[in-house]
Amino acid sequence: MLKIFVIDADAARRTQIGRVLTEQDAHAEPFESLEEFAQYTAADGLILAHDRDDVIDRLMTHVERTSCLPVIVYSEAPNRVTIVRAMQAGVASYLALPLAAEDVMAEYRQIAAELPARIEKRRRVAEARAQLERLSRREHEILVCMLDHGTSKAIARHLGISPRTVEAHRANLMTRLDVASTNEAIRIAVEGDAMSMIGSAKTE
């Protein structure tokens, strides 16, 4: 039986959603808030959450840190921009209220078929970001420049430093990333979204 974790501050709506899910042979676990859900260890199942305030960002941060459970969110009359932003944050699907259990289960079946690939992608992203965290701020900056500028001379002109300095940093970052080719380093930069991490790169 599929276990569905329903996160919704509205008690009446939580109860109603749990009731309709039960009709589809699913087991609903109700939670009033993300904070309450965070106290629960969820090994498998589906997260179904009401979209309000900044719950999506906080929920996806929690899921990425603790599990690979798929997330479906719902709200009253969501617009296209809201749905796109949710998908970009990592949400698997977005439904409009009132929820029909058949729609939830249909979405889950599609998500479940794609889940192994999603888990593998998430693993690769986490691994890439862990590798990027080994770099100094300058090495991180040069790796990002490798995506746009390519050659050491072009990077040197862009950063206002000497090509020799760029080459030294390139050699160091390749060693820290434990890669043998520029293509491998660039793959890690892309998978780990090096651009978004540059502000938090360590200084030396």
Span 35-50, mean pLDDT? 90
Q: Which tokens sit at 107? A: 């979405």
d(CA 113, CA 128): 25
Alpha helix (H) ranges present in the chain? 11-22, 34-38, 55-66, 80-89, 101-132, 137-148, 152-159, 163-177, 182-191, 194-197
pLDDT of residue 148: 84
Q: What is the pLDDT of residue 202?
A: 56
- pLDDT grade, residue 204 (50/70/90)? low
Give the residues across from 5 on adjacent strands. Answer: 29, 47
Confidence of residue 42 (pLDDT cuts 50, 70, 90): confident
CA 63 to chain centre: 8
In the predicted structure, residue 28 carries a pLDDT above the cut 60: yes
Instruction: Give ranges for CATH 3.40.50.2300 in the chain.
Output: 2-122
Q: Judging by beta carbons within 10 Å of its beta carbon (0-12, 13-18, 19+), is residue 88 exposed, middle or buried?
A: exposed
Give mean pLDDT, residues 170-188: 95
Query: CB of 142 within 8 A of CB of 169?
Result: yes
Higher pLDDT, 48 or 113: 48
Query: What confidence tens digit (pLDDT) does each residue in 121-167 have?
Result: 878 888 999 999 999 999 999 999 999 877 899 999 999 999 999 99
Whether CATH 3.90.10.10 fits 133-200:
no
Q: What CATH number matches the domain at 2-122, 3.10.20.30, 3.40.50.2300, 3.40.50.720, 3.40.190.10? A: 3.40.50.2300
pLDDT at 11: 96
Give 55-113 pLDDT, tens digit per residue: 999 999 888 777 778 999 999 989 999 999 999 888 999 999 999 989 999 999 988 88
CATH 1.10.10.10 maps onto the chain at 133-200
50 beta partners: 74
- pLDDT: is 136 or 53 the higher one? 136
DSSP, collapsed to helix, strand or coil, labels residue 80 as helix
Residue 203, pLDDT above cutoff 80? no
Residue 14: closest CA among 52, 49, 43: 49
